[in-house]
Amino acid sequence: MSAEPLDPALERVCVQMSQTEMQGEALTSRDYWLLALVTIAVPALLVLIGALL
């Protein structure tokens, strides 16, 4: 955590990472909906079923 100037190699990598093609592929809206289904709707359903036991 020193306050030294950025290592030139690190600076190059950082500049690279600012380009979209070097970044990781993002989640799509479909992924987010599926995630919500599995981690919100399914647990909610499970809790409802559990409450009926």
Partner 1 sequence: MTATPDLAAGGDSASVQDGWPLPRSQRSWGPFAVFSTSVSTAIATWCFLIGGFVSFYLPAGKGTIAIIAGSLIGILLIVLACLPMSSKYGIDSVVGSRPQLGSRGSLLSIALIYGSTLGWNVVLFILLGRATSSVLTALGWDTPGWVVGAAGVAGILFVLVALGKGPAAVRDLSQPIAVAVLVLGFIVLGLLLWKVGLGTLLDAPATYPSESGTVNWASALEVLIASNLSWWAYTGAMVRNSPSARQSLWPVVIGLGLAVGVGSLTGFYAGLVIPDSGGDPTQFLVDVGGPVIGVVALLFIILANVGTAVVGVYAATVAIRQVPAVQTLSWRATTVLAILPAFVLVGFFSNDVFSHFSTFVAFLGVCFGPMCGIQIVDFFVLRKQRYDVPGLYDLGRTGVYRFWGGFNPVGFVAFLAGVGTYIYLLDPVSYVSRAPFQYMTASIPSAVVAGLVFWLGTVLIVRPRRIGGYQEPEAAPAHTS
Which residues here bind partner 1, judged by CB under 8 A?
1-6, 9-11, 13-18, 21-28, 31, 35-36, 38-40, 42-44, 46-47, 49-51, 53
Give residue 11's Cα distance to chain centre.
Answer: 24
Per the CB < 8 A criterion, the answer to whether 26 and 32 are in contact is: no
Q: Which two structure tokens, joined as six digits, stand for 10?
A: 């690190």
Nearest distance from residue 1's CB to partner 1, in Å? 5
Q: Cβ of residue 24: shortest distance to partner 1, in angstroms?
A: 4
